[in-house]
Each structure stands twice: as C-alpha cells, then as structure tokens.
Structure 1
C-alpha cells in the first residue's frame, strides 16, 4: 500500500511515473507503471492467442492495429483534456490577483492539469506495452497515425503553476528531440525487389555502425521506407517521420518533406533512387530522392546513394 500523498512526500526512491502520481495528493491509489505495462501486454497477448491459428489469422494485422489504434485514440483524448486543463491553469496564472480565492483556484487548476497528464501517461504505458507484444508476436512494427494589475508578492501556488507549465514544455521537447545524430532516408516506392531490401539493410546497418546513437528520419512512403521503419523497430533506433502534406502543398508535398528532413540537420543522407533489380538504370530515378541528395550535397552533408555494393 502506498503512503498517503502529501506535497512534501519524498519521491526520490520512486520511478518517474510513481513519483508523479505520488505528487498528486489524491488519496486514491494509482496503478504502478509495472502494472500498466503488464496490462497492455496481457490485452494484446490474449487477443493474439485467440486470433493466431484460427480463420481470423489472415486479418491479424487489422485486428492488432485496430486495438492499438483504439488505445492511441484514448491517449490523444486524454492529452487534449490535459491541454485544456493547462489552458485553465495558464489563464488563472495570467489573471492572478493575489486573493485567497484566486490562490485556491490556481492550486486546483494545477492539480487538475497534473491529474489529466498522469492519466494520459498511464494509458500510453498500456498502449506501448501492447504494441511491443504485437511486434514480438507478428514481426510488424506499429506506430501512431497522423496539440487588472498584479500584486508585488508571489504566492507559492503561483510559483507552482509556472513550474508546472514549464515542466510540461520541457517534457514534451525532450520527448520530441532526436536524442542523437540524424540519418535521413528517401527511397523510390518501386524499389521493392529482394536486392533493394538487402542493400537498404546494408546501408542502414552501416549508418548505425558509423553513428550508434542515430535517429532515422523518413517520410513514411511505401517501399524502402516502410522496410526502414521495420528495421528501426527491430534495432531500437528512434524514428522521425516527416510526412508529406498533400492537402497543403499538393504535388510539391514530397519535395517539401525533403525540406523538413534537411531542417533536422542530418549527418548523412541515404537514398535508394531506383530499383536495383536489373540494374540501376532499370527504372526512372525517383525525383524526391534525387532532390534530397542534391540538397544534402549543396549543404556539405555526407551522401550515400544506395547501389549494388554496400557503403564503404
């Protein structure tokens, strides 16, 4: 049983999630991170045990992704609730007048924002554990689809609110940071031959050897980039996806996606511009992949055009 939560509770010996739940000062218990992870794995394992080996096995990808998609939708809804709670917190901080009533309201708003954030984190643990179990059982890699005057004195509640909002921003920036050197990849969607896949994996493994802490940046296109997504999941490489925005940019969207990839300041660009089945000239080079190479060369970024021989 957990101790009663107080604002002065020592959370040094707790993990990050349990420390945050302990700081909520809610007398009701929260599930632990381990329990949430176990739940996610059990949900997916039970589902796959029922589906695999039956007539539904042909549809296991749809079933698994539907379950994961539902959990992800729940995380997004909770994130939006947390964002709305932080809007209330920010408004209360902005309009704070130093009165006791405003002080109590500010503390309540901070607690509501933190509680909503913790709920989103909890469901995310369930989702991520379910996704890991899905990948282990099927070999598929799932990823989410496509956020009057003030008094001179400052109260403890006002300081807490500012710290809470700053901590949220820092956590989100940390979660989105690549965490290491970025390697960008573009591939021709038609490059789906066995030779293409072999040389693609050679190039990716070479890049990981050069930059062990790399993050892989792709646009999410079909063909080689889909294989690269699976490779990243298997190798534990962080993935960054710059999806083309066709609704906004139309036919120029694939080239605008190149701009986003280059904005990540990659240390290297990999490009499989055409299928290697029957020779490099067997197909017309893929324009966006060539465009990324040209941008990288113009900026002095190392470029590797994937060919029949592995990178040296």
Structure 2
C-alpha cells in the first residue's frame, strides 16, 4: 500500500478512514450514513426509488446528525426492453406468490432525481450502470461535487474516466445487490472478481479506484489497499447493524451464509443482483420457470405483490454479498472502526 495515495484520497473527500458505505437503495437510512461518517468514513444513500422531496428530506436528516461526507447514488437508465411475452410469462409465474395490492404512484423521474442530487450538494454523486451526460458532469464539478462512477470492467472504467469521473468504484462480482455493468444484457457474463479487477483498473486509470465487493473485515480492506485501491466501499458488512434495521428474516438469511450459497438473480427487479437463496429466489431457478420480466416491469410487479397479500414473495430484497457470513449485528460505527483497526495492523 502507498500511504500517500490513501491519505490524499481521504484528505480530498474529508475522510479519517478510507471506508465508504455502499449506497444501497432502500437500505441506507440517514442514521446509518451518519454513523459511518461519524466513524470517519463516508455515508451514502441509493436514491433510485426516491422522489426529489425524499432526496431532500434524507439529506436534511443526515445533515442534522452529521457534518461528514456523503454520496448520493443514481441509476443511469437504459433503453427499455419491449418483450410482452416475457412480461406476461413472468406475471403468470408471480401469481403463485400472492395477490397484487393497489397501484402505486408514478415512478420517480430520472432527470428530476439528478436535479435533486445536485441541489443537495453532497460530497459526491455516484452512478451505476452507465455514464452521466456531459452537461450534468460539468454542473456537478462547477458545484464542487465529485462524480464517483461504478464499473465492473476496464472498458467501462476507461469510458467513465474519459467522461469526467473523479473516482471509479471497482465493483467485483462478489458484491451484494445490483451489478453495475453498463450493458445489463451482458451482466451474467461479466463476472470479474474484485482482486483481479482492482489491479487491472489501477494499472490503466489515472483517477483513484475504490474497491467494492466481498469486503467485510480488515483483511479485505488491507488486501484492497495493497492492490492499489485508494479506499473501499462496503455494503453487506453493514446490513446487520442496528442503524439499518433490516427485517429479521433478511438478517437471519445472512447469518453464516456461505459465499458459494449466494446467488445472482433477476427475480426481484429484472436486473442482475446477488442475494441470499430464499425460497422465492430459488423458485425462479426451477426447471421450467420463466425468465423474470425486464427492468422495471419485474420490480413494479414484485412491489405490487408486497402491497397486497403475499403468499411467498420476500417482503424485502434479501441482498447478500459473498462476505455475508462476516456481517455482525453491531453498531455501524464500531464495524467501520474495527475494520480500519484490523487493516492498519495488517498493513503495518
């Protein structure tokens, strides 16, 4: 590890420790972000499901609890998939899991989310599954807001750097939740482990690299920094913290979960993501099961079931990285402090 590289990153983004909270949509309450920031790291919120009003409210609540750094994460939309037969087959299969509830309101508008994220003036606005438009990048930089771009391949990382990204978040295939591959149709085939991806990116990029995926203790932090990362981003390691307060069923599914037991699935949203193998998720892998509907139709249909009378659909998406067994039910600040203390001891 080059101490100067890590120190420069921390100084640039107001960190005391090079650990960022992963922006997990639906699982990033302000209390969690404030706890991570209070421990010297960077808090985060995934706002793909949030209206501008909710983004502003989250930011206000975070700032009432912390003056630390934080990022807001946006999903870059892709071209919709027009496949009525696939949607109909998935809808018929979903009938076994419950009865839909009342319709939801309109989905948040991406352009409005971008404006709300900029207006919040976070430390960084981060992207996943694509690139921001040049005009938006320019406006971020004019406002003193950094752009952190998630990438799963060198080609995507180079494209992000060329487009003006200040930091590239290297997401390994071990990561829980959604995979940040730009071409979502190729997500299943894009499976690069973090400790192959990090040096690959570090050797070819001029911007700092943050390592994400499968890091849940100080050993992972030390390894990532030794391979050239300037910081790490952790999500699964924080899932069982009291500040997050995920449902008991989800927390229990992580307890002792073996790396090889986690699965990648499109069953929750239509986009590929890593999760625990719940009966609902496993059902979509049975012989004869249809493909889940494309995004966002699958997400909308699953959300409709949750508003109704579910007979077998998970009440929450049971996201789980391959490090799930290392997640502990202890305060988030203690998790961050312990990880950095362990890493420093290993790095000398």
| Band of TM-score, shorter chain | under 0.3
Q: Which has the higher contact order (CA 8 A, sep 6+)?
A: 2
Report the TM-score when normalising by structure 1: 0.24
User: Structure 1 or 2: larger helix share?
Assistant: 1
